[in-house]
A = this chain, B = another copy of it.
Amino acid sequence: MTSTENATRNGVDTATLFATLDAVRADADLAKFQFRATNRWLSGTHNRSTIHGFHGAKQEMTHRQPFTFDADHPPVLVGSDNGPTPVEYLLHALAACLTAGIANVAAARGVALTEVSSTVEGDIDLLGILGLSDEVRNGYQQIKVSFLVRGDDPEKLRAVVEQSCRRSAVFDVLTNGVPVSIDVSTD
């Protein structure tokens, strides 16, 4: 913790990263977060989410601005293509989580990165969501992530990706599932 105190590696402020870990070690309640999105239906399959406030580190916080995202279906799925489909956002979330983790893990380990790029593919048979088969699941049947990682020694890079998967929130949710409760008000 001497030479790394003020270091920024791969764009990661490692001093702050280690200080954050120390703070959470001292007070585990700092680690309890709640993230949120609000969504409003616009027309047909077109709707818009806003992501702004969240709870964490024992306080209400906001992103520096509200982020809004449109989702829709393309014409082939009877939509107007005002945004990606909801299932495409899942692929983005997975790539983004693993990539942020790669940057953080690499920084913590002193592994240099020059490039991290990825392609995520999700195979889905729409017989499920169209209600045309009870044997086909509604969601993706499989997701494949292909990473290209450059920088340090290949073996170190592979170990970093592995550790990122091992500690990825989105990878965990997608591979293991999570309880979802739905509440409906019609007032």
CA distance A162 to B151 in the complex (A): 49
Q: Are A167 and B128 in contact (CB under 8 A)?
A: yes
Chain B residues in 8 Å Cβ range of A104 = 45, 78
Q: Are B170 and A86 in contact (CB under 8 A)?
A: yes
A3 within 8 A of B: no
Write the A107-148 contact mask toward B (1 if CB under 8 angstroms, else 0).
Answer: 100000101111111111111111111000111111111111
**Could you tell me the distance in whole angstroms from the C-beta of A62 to the nearest C-beta in chain B?**
9
Q: Are B174 and A175 in contact (CB under 8 A)?
A: no
Residue of B nearest to A80 (CB): B11
A38 within 8 A of B: yes
Q: Are B117 and A40 in contact (CB under 8 A)?
A: yes
Q: Are A41 and B91 in contact (CB under 8 A)?
A: no
CA distance A100 to B71 in the complex (A): 9
Q: Are B144 and A183 in contact (CB under 8 A)?
A: yes
CA distance A68 to B44 in the complex (A): 22
In chain A between 148 and 187, which residues have their CB closer than 8 angstroms to a CB of chain B?
A: 148-150, 154, 157-158, 161, 165, 167-187
Write the A1-39 contact mask toward B (1 if CB under 8 angstroms, else 0).
Answer: 000000000111100110011001100100111111111
- Which one of B120, B127, B177 lies within 8 Å of A39 (CB-CB)? B120
Name the 5 nearest CB pairs between A and B, nearest first.
A11-B43, A39-B95, A71-B96, A11-B44, A139-B172
A-B contact pairs, 13 of them (CB 8 A): A20-B77, A28-B132, A31-B127, A38-B118, A39-B99, A39-B120, A41-B99, A41-B113, A49-B91, A51-B84, A122-B178, A124-B169, A161-B182
